[in-house]
Structure 1
Amino acid sequence: MNWFILIIAGLFEVVGVTGMQKIAKGEKVSGFSILVAGFLISFTLLSVAMETIPLGIAYGVWTGMGTVGSAIVGMIFYNESTDRLRLMFMGLVIVAVVGLRVVSA
C-alpha cells in the first residue's frame, strides 16, 4: 500500500512544480495555490510512505517521478523540447526508478 501512496506523492510533486511554472508565467495567485497544495499533499504522502519504504529508495522514486512527470507536463502543456536524447534520458530515469522498486522488494 505504501508504494501506491509513494506514487501518488510523486504525482502531487508534479502538481507542485506545475504551480511554480504558473508563477513564472505571471499567474501568481493560482500558481502559488497550486504550488502549496501540491507540495503539501506530496510531502505528507511521502512521509507516510517512508514508514515502510527506506529513505533512499522512497526519495529516489519520488524525485524520479517528479523529474519525468514535470518534463512530460512541460512537453505537453508548455511546448518544451521533445528531443530524442531528452526522451532517452527520461527513459533511463524510469528504468532507475523501476530498478529501485525491484531491488527493494
Structure 2
Amino acid sequence: MDWFYLVLAGLFEMVGVVMINRLHQQRNVQSFLYLLAGFGLSFLFLALAMKTLPMGTAYAVWTGIGASGGAIMGMILYGEPKDWKRILFIAMVLGAAIGLKLIS
C-alpha cells in the first residue's frame, strides 16, 4: 500500500504543478483551491508512504514522478517542446524512480 500512496502523491504533485500554471493564467479562487488541494493531497499521501518507506527513496520517487509528470503535462497541455532529448531525460528520471522501487 505504501507504493500506491507514493504514486498517488506523485500524481497529486503533478496536479499541483499544473495548477500553478493555471493560477498564473486565471487568477481566481477556484484555481487557487485546486492548487492547494493538489499539493495538500500530495503531501498527505507522501506522509502516508513514508510511514514504511525510507525517506530518501520516497522523496526521490515523489519528486521524480512530479517533475517528469509536470514536464509531460506541459508538453501535452501547454505546447512545450517535445524534442527527443527532452523525452530521453524525462525517461531517465522515470527509469531512476523505477530502479529505486526495484531495489527497495
Instruction: Please classify the TM superposition score into its range, dividing by the shorter chain length.
Output: over 0.9
Deviating runs (4+, > 3 A) in structure 1?
A: none
- TM-score (ref. length: structure 2): 0.96
Equivalent pairs, count: 104
Preserved contact between residue 75 and residue 81 of structure 1 (Cα < 8 Å): yes
Measured in 2, the distance between the counterparts of 1:64 and 1:21 equals 19
Aligned to 2:56: 56
**Structure 2 residue aligned with 1:95:** 95
What TM-score comes out, normalization by structure 1 length? 0.95
Unaligned runs of 5+ in 2: none
The amino acid that maps onto 2:54 is P
Structure number with higher relative contact order (C-alpha < 8 Å, ≥ 6 residues apart): 2
Q: CA RMSD in A?
A: 0.9
Q: Is the 8 A contact 1:21 1:31 kept in 2?
A: no
Looking at structure 1, the residues matched to 8 and 61 of structure 2 have their Cα atoms a distance apart, in angstroms, of 11
Which runs of 5 or more structure 1 residues have no equivalent in the other structure? none
The code of the aligned residue for 2:14 comes to: V
**Alpha-carbon separation, structure 1, partners of 2:81 and 2:29:** 27
